[in-house]
Every structure is written in C-alpha cells, then in structure tokens.
Structure 1
Amino acid sequence: MDLETAGVRGAEPRPYFFLSYAHTPRNDPKDKDPNLWVERFYRDLCAHVLQLTSLPAGVPAGFLDQQMQPGEGWQERLSESLAYCRVFVPLYSPRYFLSEQCGREWYAFSSRAVHNQAARSNGSQMSGIVPALWVPVPPRQLPQPAERLQFNHATFGDDYADEGFYGLIKLRYLRDQYERAVYLLAKRIVKVAEQIRMPEGDPHQDYASVPSAFGPPGRARQMEISVLACSHSDLPADRAPDCYGPAQRDWNPYHPKLSRPLADHAVDLVRNLDYQVRVGDFETEAERLLGSDRPMAPGLLLLDRWALDAPHRRELVRRLGEVARPWISVMVPWNRDDPDSGRRESELRAVTEEALEPRSEEESGHRSHGGGVPTLEAFSQELPGAVRAAERHYAAHAETFPPAGGSGRIPRLLLDGVGYGSTSDFVPPVHGKVHDKGGADDGEASEGEDPSNDREP
C-alpha cells in the first residue's frame, strides 16, 4: 500500500518524515521554552513537504513528539511513527548524540533500513536517513552510525553548514538563508522518500527495549564477529547447498528471505549500535580467540548447527564452553522453514547444546535459548542483547591500560558535567504555551517573538 495515496490504516495517519531532536531543558522554570524554535522549524519544513508532494488531507507531513496529547501513550505513538514514516530526520546538536531517547529513535528506524537491504539482491545501501544541523557538530565527535552517512551539509549553503538551523533562524540577517535551507531539506526528504520504499517496521515493538544507536562518549568500541559454519566443500551428505558459499562466512541460513550472508547482516546491525566491526572465521582464528584468558575485544559467534557434524568443530565449541569466555556471545541461527533442519531438528539441537554446555551457568555468557533463532526477525531482535552481554563481560575481564594519547576518535562533548546514558531527555509535550513579547538583541530574533508568526507578507 502506498503511504502517500493511502496514508491511513486504522485510526492513526502515517507521517511522511520523523523529526528526531534532543530537548533543550529550561535553566529556570520561568524561562520560555527553548524548544519553541524547533517547533517553528518543524512547521516550516512540513509546509514545504506538503507543497512538494500529493499527500491527501489528514495525512501529516511529519511527526514531532510535541504533537502528542496529554495522557496519550507516547511509547506507542513513537513506535508507530518510527515503524511507518518514510524518512528519518535527525536534528544534529552536541546534545543529540548524548540522548538515549534519540539513540533509540535512530536505531529503531535504521533497523528497518538493514532489513530493507537484506531483501535487496543488488546490495544497494540507502539508509532513508536525512540529517539536518540544528547546531553544527565536529565530524570527529559523531558516533559511528552518523559518521558513516557522510552527508555534505554545505550543499544547503555555507551559512547553514557554519551555523545550523538554530543560527539561521535566530540571526535576522540570515533569514533568507534559513528559508532556502529549509526548502532544500524538504526537497531532499521528498527525493529520498521517492527513491526508497522502506519496509514497514513493527508498530507494536516494546519501545523500552529498543537499544540506543549511540555508544558512550570516547573512542569507538570494537566488536569481533566470528562465523563457524559449513561451506560448499564440506557439507554433510544430507545437507542441501542453498544456504552456503565458497567460504564459511558466506553462510545464509535465512535464505531466500535474506539475500546476503548472515554475517553481513549482523555487521550492519552491530554498526548501528556504534561499534567498529571485524569479521572472521572462528575455525581459522580459534587459537587466538580461545588461547587467552583475557579478551582483546568482545565477540559474537554465529554458529551453524550443521557444522557440528565435524568432530574437530564440536571440539572447538566444547573448548569455548569448558573455559569461561563469557565475552563471546553465541547465537545459533536456524530456519524453521528449512526442510533439512526440520528432518534433523532434535539431533542437531542436542549436539549443539552438549557442545555449548558451560562449566557454570553464571560464566557462560549469552547463548541462544531453545535450540536456536528460528527467523530473521528473531535474530535481529536477539542480537542487541547478545552484543550488550559480550560488552558487559568484556569490561569485567579485560586488562586496563593507560590511555595512549592522540589516537582514535575525539571524545564526544559532555554537557553540564553529565555523561552518556545519565540523562532522560524526553519531556512530555506542554500545551497552551504562552509566548512573551519582548525586545531583541541587535541582529538576533527575539526569544519572545512567537515562532508561529509567519514571516511572509
């Protein structure tokens, strides 16, 4: 169903774009709401998108959390809007990348983009994310998901790239540049929406369990993904070759729904959690991964149950469970629709559980429950928890070294002495706002000026 022509399913219309921004708190309860300028920018952007599309009456151009009504389930509305919107517009500021709320919104939408790529056989990568600058952020302070977008903000104008929308809307002499930049952003949103038909997400997902796409401030985190699977050359006699390739990392248990190796799909999901990722074959690197009691990085093992037909591979997995290495999370993907797995389900499950049996439950780390992960959707839902478990155990077991200055990404800015993860910036919408009238500083729009007033004659 086309969102632009249908627009509505059930009671809630679907937004064309989702504006994600970090709320700026008041320094004093008597101060005017500092987020009024974001609301003004949002209305201007919606007006342009409406002019540039054929959205029917009743279909909102965008979604902004300030639109929600008192008493409304805000988590449910956020989940629905993130599941159905066509384009995600993060409003960059230093505060944005410290916000767990914004990180959740980013991850929820970007997961849809990963599943869109999973179904595309041509391997094209289009994220559906169109970033906008509220306040410019130095590139080296961006987390990995934002850094990979490589968006050239100067295409909307040099003043916009230097000042962001906040500077353009506040400084009177830049009003023309503001109007131009908003219009160009609207054009970009519409262009991306027309180029990409993003698959719908889950409107009923538990929003509280969605992870943040932004890691803690500081150097980028590392994650090792290893694959222990069969290849075309060593398949069991009763195993069809459809899910395999020349190398172990070509394994794709969710074929044909997934059009590429599972390791590539996992890499995109882990990168969306703000990690740099290294991928390898577990069998080839077993001595390095199993030969030390101290981890070099947290790890994620993708285990093909059919690979355990080979005794030497069963021994490798047994070693993993025998000596506690909980910083390596183990996921066991399998496809409930695969006829080969169905015929040997009980046997393969028993062999896998025996090989993975840990020395003690508390030292086992993450293991897929119930014999494996039966669908691609279940795999994508389980992966963030597996990554968090590996990271937590890694932090508990890794050696600590004094910082070697000068390398890595510049730590992201801390605001008011508050670090990542300690703020909850969601503020329920305030209705019936009163906009004070007052004078303006030279060259600056007044804080008391009602942002809802049109500037057009």
Structure 2
Amino acid sequence: MAASDEPRAANHRPYFFLSYAHTPKHGAVGPDPDMWVERLFRDLCAHVMAMTNLPAGAPAGFIDRELRSGEGWSERLGEVLATCRVFVPLFSPRYFGSEMCGKEWYAFAQRAIHEQVRSNRTAEAIVPALWVPVPPHQLPGPAARLQFNHRAFGERYVTDGLYGLVKLRIFAEEYERAVYELAKRIVSVADASDIGPCRPVDYRAIPSAFGSPSAGPRPMKLTVAAPTRHDLPEGRHSEYYGDTPLDWNPYHPVSAQPLSRLAEDLVRSLNYQATVSSFDEEVLHLDGKQPPSCPEVLLVDRWALHDDERRQRLSAFDSEHRPWVSVVVPWNRDDHQSRASEAELTGRLEDTMPSKMREGRALTRAAAKGVPSMEAFGRILPQVAESAAQQYLKHAAVYPPGGGHHERPRLIGPMVTEQAATRSIPAVQDLALDAEDTDDSRS
C-alpha cells in the first residue's frame, strides 16, 4: 500500500464491532434466534452511514453471523478486532458466560490499553449496549468499571433492553430512539478516541476478559524490583526511571507511562483486582513461612541487581519456595545500554535468582530471558498471571467451614419407653458399637 493511501484506509476501518452471544435454537427447526441481533446491526449501520461521510461500500460495522468454526474464522475476527474503531458488546447473562465473547472483549481492550500508554491519555472505546438487562452484581470487573449512562437511551431501554424493545411492536418508538442514540454514541466515541490499528492477535490463544465463569474479581499482586533515578548504577541513563521504583518505564519513549500502570491495566482487563507495590518496601518477602495471600507477578529490572542490598534480598526471596510468584524481566531492545550489557545483566540475574529463572523458562522462555517490547509484554503478562493464579490455588491455605466439632450420629435402634430403655442400656450400647464398626468398615 502506498503511503498516501494509509490515511484513507484508516478512515474506512469499521466504525464498530458488534459483539454478542450466539443463542442456540430451541429444537431442530424454527427461526434463527439471532435474527433480531442482525436487525439491530443493520439499523446501526444505516444510522452510522447517515451520520458520517463513509463512502458507498465502506464498512460501517462488523458482526459475526457465521458459526464460529471453519477455516479462517479466527484470523478474520482477529483482523477486525485489530482495526475497528469502537467495540459494542451486547450485555446479557449469556454474553458474560461466553468464553468467545470474553476473548473478543480482551482483544479489543488490549488495543485501548496500549493506545493509552503510548499517548498518555484516556482511550476508552467500548460502548456497551443492553440486549437483556443484567444486574450490576453479575457484571464481571471489566464491564462493571465502564462509566456509561444507559438511561440516556430511555427508561424502557433500561428495564427491557434492546431485545424487549425490538420484539414487541408496542415499543417500536422506544426501540428507534435507543438505536439512534446508540449510533450517535458510537460515532462520537470513534471520533474522540481515535484508537489506531494494531497487529492482529491469535484469537485462539488469548484469554477471556471475564475470567472463570463462576468467579468474581480475583486478587493479583504486582511487585516492581527496580532502582530510582537517584540510585542508578554509575553511567546508567536516567530517562527510564523516576522518583520511585514504580516509575520505572523500560519501554520509553514508545510508552509514556510507567510499566506498573501498563501491568495493572492488563491484569485488570482479565478480571483481576490488582495491587501494585515496590519490592524494596515489601518486608513480608522475608518471611517464607507465611501462606500466600494472593498470586503475584514480580517485574524485575536487571539493572536493579547492581545494588548489593537489593541483590541479597532478591536472592533470599528466590531461595524460598514460592511457586505462586511468577517473574517477568522486561527490557527494551532499543535501549543501547541494555543491549551492550546483555551478557553481564543476564548472568547476574541467573546467579541471583536461579530458581525463578528456571521456573520462568519452563512457563515461557521470553518472560525469564527478557521481554523486549511493549507489545510482547502485553502478550506474555496474561500467560504469566494465569500461571501464578493456578499455582496460588494449589498452595493457598484451606479453611474448613465454621462451627464446632460434633460427634458422629449413632444408630440406637427403634424408639422404646424410658423404662425399657433403662433396662436395655447394655444392649443399646452393643448395637451402637456394632453400627460404628460397620460404618468404619465401609469407609
């Protein structure tokens, strides 16, 4: 493509991607249950074409109306999610139980996160729509955090959703109003956010933004081991550092925000509740006997190992058995100092944290060897976070249900009078013992 054609092609990207959960048919025959979603899509496209200067034939939107199988379907979805301007999820209970919908959400969310990190400005381009109303407490974290006023589309829309409005003729006016307002919001957000295209992701390999179907928001700890600009090794460039370790920005100048901010946004997009801290301030790391409180990802700057005290603490940390902690080693391939000192930095890290490096290579070699770009970090961190979460579940403390200890019930035979029971105490005791022996033999 010629350079002069790039802006024109960018303007003709689909304005929106309509993401919805496919509804199965009730029985072998009958109408397509998703025909109403297709009508909504057509109506939205008509409004978007009227509200913009898209030429004839340009895609106003995209909808997956085919079965999600067959050759090339994942590549096609990946391409559209990497280029569309706005993501429109149709909220419904079925939607948040769909792994495929969660993957679509996650793929688009990564674009918004990376755009925000590059530009240092808010890049929110998800416009939710109510297909079937969902109680707020049932929304996964990524959906619950969206700041969106659904009532601007009408009260009936809030109570019945677009499905109720499109199905019942008496609500035809309310449906037209809601769709018109939704189309206006799509165009407005597309023009304001202006999220650029990116390289398509492998749709089959990415995680779901909703996490486990039955799980709520999960805790995740992010710890940064890095120097500040005030305690750098002699000669080390300071543009990658700030006043605290959390200001470390290895992907400068591509990234305008610290790595801790990027990592926090990435794990939050996987329905985790992230807490971020500095390794230098984490005194609990020294107590290896404490059970884990949550999974953890440790982000290590290899230049931090020039400080002898920090290196000793990292070595002590590595000597403890903490499989629920995964290590990621970010670096910048365009950082000439790091490239020139690659062998020295890698050797010092291997000597300091041999156990964690060995575990990291078993999971994903790039995480331990070094993640050379912001895009690669976005692909690797979710894998590492999920691995830490799985290890945490294996090693977390198990708490039995509350309540005191109760004796196991014993069989004492048929009901008898008090006098007969008094005369028959030895016989009843024998019967109870026999029943206990029988229970023990069955167990």
Q: In which range does the TM-score fall when normalised by the shorter chain?
A: 0.7 to 0.9
CA 1:219–1:401 in structure 2 vs 1: closer, same or farther (change >3 Å)? farther
AA partner of residue 86 (structure 2): V
Following TM superposition, by how much is the alpha carbon of 1:315 offset from its aligned partner in structure 2, in angstroms? 1.9
Whole-angstrom distance in 2 between the partners of 1:360 and 1:160 = 53
The structure showing larger relative contact order (alpha-carbon pairs under 8 Å, at least 6 residues apart) is 1
- Higher Cα Rg: structure 1 or 2? 2
Other-structure match for 2:152: 155
Whole-angstrom distance in 1 between the partners of 2:33 and 2:249 = 49
Whole-angstrom distance in 2 between the partners of 1:218 and 1:15 = 33
Whole-angstrom distance in 1 between the partners of 2:380 and 2:273 = 19
Deviations 1:112-141 (A, max 9, x none): 0001101113xx323110000000111111
Whole-angstrom distance in 1 between the partners of 2:28 and 2:215 = 33
User: Does 2:317 correspond to 1:314?
Assistant: no
User: Does 2:232 correspond to 1:235?
Assistant: yes
How many residues are treated as equivalent by the alignment? 398
Other-structure match for 1:383: 381
5 Å matches for 1:198-347?
Answer: 198-203=195-200, 205-216=201-212, 217-288=214-285, 290-347=287-344
User: Does 2:20 correspond to 1:21?
Assistant: yes
Deviations 1:377-432 (A, max 9, x none): 1111100101011001001000123579xxxxxxxxxxxxxxxxxxxxxxxxxxxx
5 Å matches for 1:26-425?
Answer: 26-66=25-65, 73-121=72-120, 124-203=121-200, 205-216=201-212, 217-288=214-285, 290-358=287-355, 366=363, 369=366, 371-401=369-399
5 Å matches for 1:2-17?
Answer: 6-7=8-9, 14-17=13-16
Deviations 1:228-263 (A, max 9, x none): 100022110121111111111110011111101100
Checking the alignment, whether the CA contact within 8 Å between 2:327 and 2:356 is kept in structure 1 is no
Deviations 1:50-89 (A, max 9, x none): 1111111221111111168996511111011100100000
Checking the alignment, whether the CA contact within 8 Å between 1:19 and 1:91 is kept in structure 2 is yes
CA 1:360–1:190 in structure 2 vs 1: closer, same or farther (change >3 Å)? closer
Following TM superposition, by how much is the alpha carbon of 1:293 offset from its aligned partner in structure 2, in angstroms? 4.7
Whole-angstrom distance in 2 between the partners of 1:401 and 1:267 = 29
Following TM superposition, by how much is the alpha carbon of 1:28 offset from its aligned partner in structure 2, in angstroms? 0.8
Other-structure match for 1:452: none
Whole-angstrom distance in 2 between the partners of 1:264 and 1:250 = 9
Whole-angstrom distance in 1 between the partners of 2:357 and 2:342 = 26
Whole-angstrom distance in 2 between the partners of 1:403 and 1:148 = 32
Provide TM-score, normalisation by structure 1.
Answer: 0.82
Checking the alignment, whether the CA contact within 8 Å between 1:323 and 1:359 is kept in structure 2 is no
AA partner of residue 401 (structure 1): Y
Checking the alignment, whether the CA contact within 8 Å between 2:297 and 2:327 is kept in structure 1 is yes
Q: Secondary structure at the match of 1:232?
A: coil
CA 1:68–1:97 in structure 2 vs 1: closer, same or farther (change >3 Å)? closer
Checking the alignment, whether the CA contact within 8 Å between 1:333 and 1:372 is kept in structure 2 is yes
Following TM superposition, by how much is the alpha carbon of 1:288 offset from its aligned partner in structure 2, in angstroms? 4.3
AA partner of residue 207 (structure 1): Y
Structure with a larger share of its residues in helix: 2
| Range 304-313 or range 102-111, more displaced | 304-313
Following TM superposition, by how much is the alpha carbon of 1:272 offset from its aligned partner in structure 2, in angstroms? 0.3
AA partner of residue 183 (structure 1): Y
Checking the alignment, whether the CA contact within 8 Å between 2:350 and 2:357 is kept in structure 1 is no
Checking the alignment, whether the CA contact within 8 Å between 1:118 and 1:260 is kept in structure 2 is yes
Q: Secondary structure at the match of 2:275?
A: strand
Q: Sequence identity of aligned pairs in percent? A: 50
Q: Secondary structure at the match of 1:30?
A: coil
Following TM superposition, by how much is the alpha carbon of 1:14 offset from its aligned partner in structure 2, in angstroms? 3.4
Checking the alignment, whether the CA contact within 8 Å between 1:329 and 1:389 is kept in structure 2 is yes
Whole-angstrom distance in 2 between the partners of 1:144 and 1:116 = 21
CA 1:3–1:93 in structure 2 vs 1: closer, same or farther (change >3 Å)? farther
Structure 2 unmatched runs, 5+: 403-443
AA partner of residue 119 (structure 1): R
Following TM superposition, by how much is the alpha carbon of 1:319 offset from its aligned partner in structure 2, in angstroms? 2.4
AA partner of residue 6 (structure 1): R
CA 1:103–1:374 in structure 2 vs 1: closer, same or farther (change >3 Å)? same
CA 1:300–1:394 in structure 2 vs 1: closer, same or farther (change >3 Å)? same
Q: Secondary structure at the match of 1:198?
A: coil
Whole-angstrom distance in 2 between the partners of 1:223 and 1:165 = 36
Checking the alignment, whether the CA contact within 8 Å between 2:326 and 2:356 is kept in structure 1 is no
Following TM superposition, by how much is the alpha carbon of 1:26 offset from its aligned partner in structure 2, in angstroms? 1.5
Q: Secondary structure at the match of 2:114?
A: helix
Structure 1 unmatched runs, 5+: 405-457
Provide TM-score, normalisation by structure 2.
Answer: 0.85
Q: Secondary structure at the match of 1:6?
A: helix
CA 1:3–1:360 in structure 2 vs 1: closer, same or farther (change >3 Å)? closer
Checking the alignment, whether the CA contact within 8 Å between 1:325 and 1:364 is kept in structure 2 is no
Following TM superposition, by how much is the alpha carbon of 1:333 offset from its aligned partner in structure 2, in angstroms? 0.6
Q: Secondary structure at the match of 2:349?
A: helix
CA 1:19–1:2 in structure 2 vs 1: closer, same or farther (change >3 Å)? farther
Q: Secondary structure at the match of 2:304?
A: helix
Checking the alignment, whether the CA contact within 8 Å between 2:115 and 2:195 is kept in structure 1 is yes
Q: Secondary structure at the match of 2:255?
A: coil
Q: Secondary structure at the match of 1:225?
A: strand
CA RMSD of aligned residues (A): 2.5
Whole-angstrom distance in 1 between the partners of 2:6 and 2:337 = 42
Whole-angstrom distance in 2 between the partners of 1:145 and 1:398 = 25
Q: Secondary structure at the match of 1:222?
A: strand
Following TM superposition, by how much is the alpha carbon of 1:302 offset from its aligned partner in structure 2, in angstroms? 0.8
Deviations 1:140-186 (A, max 9, x none): 11111111112111110000011100000111111100001000000
